[in-house]
């Protein structure tokens, strides 16, 4: 084979090409958002959630019925007039389902938020201060979490006795924070002992900067994912309690209560049970799927 002379002159290494990094650099959150967008299931779940929240906020104005107003159209099956039908007092089920949704979602979201914030603060303090304080704080967590949570919730909802949103929320929160506290404590401890935080310490980076630069961004993803998984579990707890008559009671309404009411007439009017049940299941499903997607997006190492 013949080659020309100039092909064999030494040109040396190609610095630019050698050092080039293949992919463009992005921030952590941008990258997470990109990964989340690629997950069709998670995005679909998110859309459903937004839709449910929207309907819960504006449901009764959309269908044009008030959820407490009774009429003579009793036990109507779903029709153009009453999209989800009516209950035994002639109240429009569509309006009732989404009025209930407001309460159910509020308990779910608020409950998850409160326990997550409290648990995170508790857990980080415990991990940061360490020593005896940590030991005592964790003993408290251990004892509180050794009490079966339904027992506490039942006792508390009895004690507060107003069967309103506030008391059930309180009851759920009192037992719910332990898990988050443990999780965050573990995460913070792991970070405090991680090589890069020790490196930052050694370089003289201030505590405040370590907290804002390393601790918060690195625990945030765990906390957010935990939050998304807590919401459906609170919605479930509320529905469960209301279903057995220990939660929300009239004149308030929630999905659990509606399902409970529908259960009584299930044999004759199955749709009265079906719609609230569907909403509970759909919401929990969507939050779980969204949480899965969020976890994969925020922590690519855990990606399955």
Partner 1 sequence: MERLLEVENLRVSFHTYAGDVKAVRGISFGVDKGETLALVGESGCGKSVTAKALMRLFDRTSGEILEGSKIRFDGTDVMALDKKALHAFRGSQIGMIFQDPMTSLDPTMTIGKQVGETLVIHKGISMRDAEAQAVELLRMVEIPNPEERVKAYPHQLSGGMRQRVVIATALACNPKLLIADEPTTALDVTIQAQVLDLLRDLKVRLGTAIILVTHDLGIVADFSDRIQVMYAGQIVEEGTKNDIFKRCLHPYTWALLRSIPQENATGTTLYSLTGTPPDLLLDIHGCPFASRCEYCMQICRQKMPERTECSGTHAVSCWLMHPMAPKVECPIPRGGDDARE
Partner 2 sequence: MPFFHTVGWKQKSHGFESVFPAEIGKGRKMIKYILRRILYMLLVLFIVTTITFFLMHCIPGDPLTALVQKLPEQTKINYYAKYGLDKPVIEQYLVFLKGIFTEGTLGESIRFPGRQVLDTIQRYAGFSSEIGLVAVLIGFVVGIILGTVSAIKQNRLPDKIISIIAILGISLPVFLLASLFQYLFTVKWPLFPTLGWGTPAHKILPILCMSFSPLATYTRYMRSSVLDVINQDYITMAEAKGMSFSQVVRRHVLRNSILPSLTILGPNIADVFTGSFVIESIFAIPGLGSYYITAVNDRDFPMIIGCAMFYTGIYILSLLLVDILYVIIDPRIRLTGDSN
Q: In the complex, what is the shortest distance from the CB of residue 39 to partner 1, in angstroms, rounded to a whole number?
A: 13
Contact residues for partner 2, defined by CB under 8 A:
143, 146-151, 154-156, 158-159, 161, 232, 236, 239-240, 243-244, 246, 259, 263, 266-267, 270, 273, 277, 280-281, 284-285, 287-289, 292, 302, 304
Q: Report whether 146 contacts 179 (CB < 8 A).
A: no
Residue 86, strand partner residues: 92
- The three-point CA angle 8-13-15 to 5° equals 150
DSSP 8-state symbol, 213: I
- Name which of 21 and 267 has its Cβ closer to partner 2: 267
Q: In the complex, what is the shortest distance from the CB of residue 256 to partner 1, in angstroms, rounded to a whole number?
A: 42
Residue 195 interacts, among partner 2, partner 1, none and using kind-specific CB cut-offs from 5 to 8 Å, with none
What CA–CA distance (Å, rounded) separates 43 from 54? 16
Q: In the complex, what is the shortest distance from the CB of residue 234 to partner 2, in angstroms, rounded to a whole number?
A: 12
Q: Report whether 238 contacts 172 (CB < 8 A).
A: yes
Tokens of 274: 């079906």
Q: Does 267 bind partner 1 (CB under 8 A)?
A: no
Residue 15 interacts, among partner 2, partner 1, none and using kind-specific CB cut-offs from 5 to 8 Å, with partner 1
Cα separation of the two ends of the chain: 51
Residue 1-30 contact track with partner 1, rule CB under 8 A, x = bound: --x-xxxxxxxxxxx-xxx--x--------
What CA–CA distance (Å, rounded) separates 42 from 288? 9
Residue 277 interacts, among partner 1, partner 2, none and using kind-specific CB cut-offs from 5 to 8 Å, with partner 2
- Name which of 13 and 80 has its Cβ closer to partner 1: 13
Q: In the complex, what is the shortest distance from the CB of residue 169 to partner 2, in angstroms, rounded to a whole number?
A: 18
User: By three-state DSSP, how is residue 90 classified?
Assistant: coil
- Name which of 161 and 193 has its Cβ closer to partner 2: 161
User: By three-state DSSP, how is residue 86 classified?
Assistant: strand
Maximum distance among all Cα pairs of the chain, rounded to whole angstroms: 100
Chain residues binding partner 1 by CB under 8 A are 3, 5-15, 17-19, 22
């Amino acid at each position: 084979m013949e080659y020309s002379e100039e092909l064999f002159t030494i040109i040396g290494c190609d610095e630019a090409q050698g050092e080039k990094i293949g992919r463009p650099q992005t921030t952590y959150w941008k990258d997470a958002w990109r990964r989340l967008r690629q997950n069709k299931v998670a995005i679909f779940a998110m859309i459903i959630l937004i839709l449910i929240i929207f309907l819960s906020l504006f449901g009764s104005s959309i269908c044009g019925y008030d959820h407490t107003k009774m009429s003579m159209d009793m036990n109507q099956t779903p029709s153009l007039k009453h999209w989800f039908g009516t209950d035994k007092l002639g109240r429009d089920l569509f309006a009732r389902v989404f009025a209930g949704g407001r309460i159910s979602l509020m308990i779910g979201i608020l409950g998850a938020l409160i326990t997550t914030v409290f648990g995170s603060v508790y857990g980080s303090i415990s991990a940061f201060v360490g020593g005896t304080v940590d030991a005592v704080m964790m003993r408290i967590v251990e004892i509180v979490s050794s009490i079966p949570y339904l027992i506490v919730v039942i006792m508390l909802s009895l004690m507060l006795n107003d069967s309103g949103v506030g008391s059930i929320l309180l009851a759920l929160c009192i037992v719910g924070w332990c898990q988050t506290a443990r999780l965050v404590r573990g995460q913070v401890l792991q970070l405090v002992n991680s090589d890069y935080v020790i490196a930052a310490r050694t370089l003289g980076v201030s505590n405040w900067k370590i907290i804002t630069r390393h601790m918060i961004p690195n625990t945030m993803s765990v906390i957010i994912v935990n939050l998304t998984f807590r919401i459906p579990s609170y919605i479930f707890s509320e529905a469960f309690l209301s279903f057995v008559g220990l939660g929300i009671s009239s004149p308030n309404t929630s999905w659990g209560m509606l399902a409970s009411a529908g259960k009584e007439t299930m044999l004759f009017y199955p749709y009265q049970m079906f719609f609230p049940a569907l909403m509970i299941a759909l919401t929990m499903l969507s939050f779980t799927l969204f949480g899965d997607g969020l976890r994969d997006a925020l922590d690519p190492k855990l990606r399955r």
